[in-house]
Amino acid sequence: MSCMSSILRHISLTPIGIPFCTRDCLKYGSRGAVDKALYRCVKDKVITRLTNGVFMRMDSKTPLPSPLKLARLKCHAFGKEIVEHGADIGVELQISDRGSAEPTFYVNGSSSSFQYGSVRIHLKSASKKKMHLKESSEGRIVRALWHLGKGSFNAGFVDYLVTTANTKDLRRTLVLAKAWMPAWLADFFPTTGYPCPLNAPAQNAHFIDYFNPNPSPVVMEKPLQWLNFDTEYGGIVGIKSTLQKGSQHSSISGNSGHFY
C-alpha cells in the first residue's frame, strides 16, 4: 500500500473532531512522502491544518480544539509533559488578576511557541521541581504561589489559601510537598510533625494540622487582589474585597497576618 493510501485510510479511521499529528503518520513512509501526502489532503480539503504538524477532519458543526488541548497534543507528540501556567492558576484561585496575555503552559522540555489561528501559544520551559506535582491540587497551589514570587505575600495569605482548601488531606499533602517548593516558599509551611516520607501514603503520616482544621465558608464579594508584601506593616497591600461570613465580616490583621 502506498504512503498516500495508508494516510487516507488513517484519516478515514480517525473520528471527525479528533486532531492528529504528522508524527502519527510517519509509520507510513519517509518524512518527505508523509509531508507531501498531508499537503495534498489539506489542499483537497480532506483535512484541515490547525497548526504546524496538527490536522483534523472537520465538518460545519465541528468546534475547534481549545489551546490547551492543542498544546497537550503537540507536547505528547514530542514526548513532553505539560501543566497549566502559575499565572492562570492564580486567576482561577482568585489570588491574582493578571493571567497570561497569551495561552502559556509549562513544559519539561525546551521553550517554544506556535501560531494557532489568531493567537500564539507559548510552551515555557520549567524545572523538574516545578513540574513534579503535575496537575494535582497541591501542585496547582504551589505553582500559583511560586509565580507570585518571593515577597509578594505573607504567612497570613498562605494560611488563608491553605485553610480554604477545606480538606485535611490537601493541607497534609501541601506540607509533604515542601521538597518540591523553592526554599522561600517552603518556609511558609510547618517544619515539624510530619515524619512520613514524601513518597509514602499521606494518610500514614503523623499529621499535626497547623492550619485551621475546620475553616468556615468564606464568601468573596469581589476577587481578591493580593499584590505586594508591605514590609513596614507586615501585611498585604492591595486587598480590594471584604471577606464575609454570613452577616459577619472577617478581616486581616495587617501586623500579624492572621484572620480574626
CATH of the domain at 19: 1.10.10
Tell me if residue 199 falls in helix, strand or coil: coil
The answer on 223 and 159 residing in a single domain is yes
What is the model's pLDDT at position 38? 97
**Mean pLDDT within 223-247:** 34
**Mean pLDDT within 78-92:** 93
The answer on 246 and 201 residing in a single domain is yes
Lowest mean pLDDT among 16-30, 117-131, 148-162, 207-221: 207-221
Q: Is residue 222 pLDDT above 90, yes or no?
A: no
Lowest mean pLDDT among 150-159, 167-176, 207-216: 207-216
- The range of the structural domain enclosing residue 215 comes to 149-250
Structural domains of the chain, count: 3
For the chain, the average pLDDT equals 77
pLDDT class of 209 with cuts at 50, 70, 90:
low
Residue 23 lies in a domain: yes
How does DSSP assign 46-84, residue by residue?
SSEEEETTEEE---TTPPPPPHHHHHHHHHHHTT--EEE
The answer on 174 and 222 residing in a single domain is yes
Contact (Cβ atoms closer than 8 angstroms) between residue 130 and residue 106: yes
CA pseudo-torsion sign 190, 192, 196, 198:
positive
What is the model's pLDDT at position 113? 95
The answer on 85 and 45 residing in a single domain is no
**Mean pLDDT within 241-247:** 31
Residue 162 lies in a domain: yes
Partner residues linked to 21 by β-bridges:
54
Residue 121 lies in a domain: yes
CA pseudo-torsion sign 205, 210, 214, 218:
negative
What is the model's pLDDT at position 157? 85
The answer on 191 and 122 residing in a single domain is no
The answer on 241 and 154 residing in a single domain is yes
Contact (Cβ atoms closer than 8 angstroms) between residue 46 and residue 68: no
What is the model's pLDDT at position 225? 40
**Within a 13 Å sphere around the CA of 229, how many CA atoms are in the beta-carbon half?**
15
Residue 136 lies in a domain: no
Lowest mean pLDDT among 25-34, 91-100, 120-129: 91-100
**How far apart, in whole angstroms, are the C-alpha atoms of residue 147 and residue 149?**
5
Q: What are phi and psi of 249, to 5 degrees?
A: -105, 140
**Mean pLDDT within 243-254:** 33
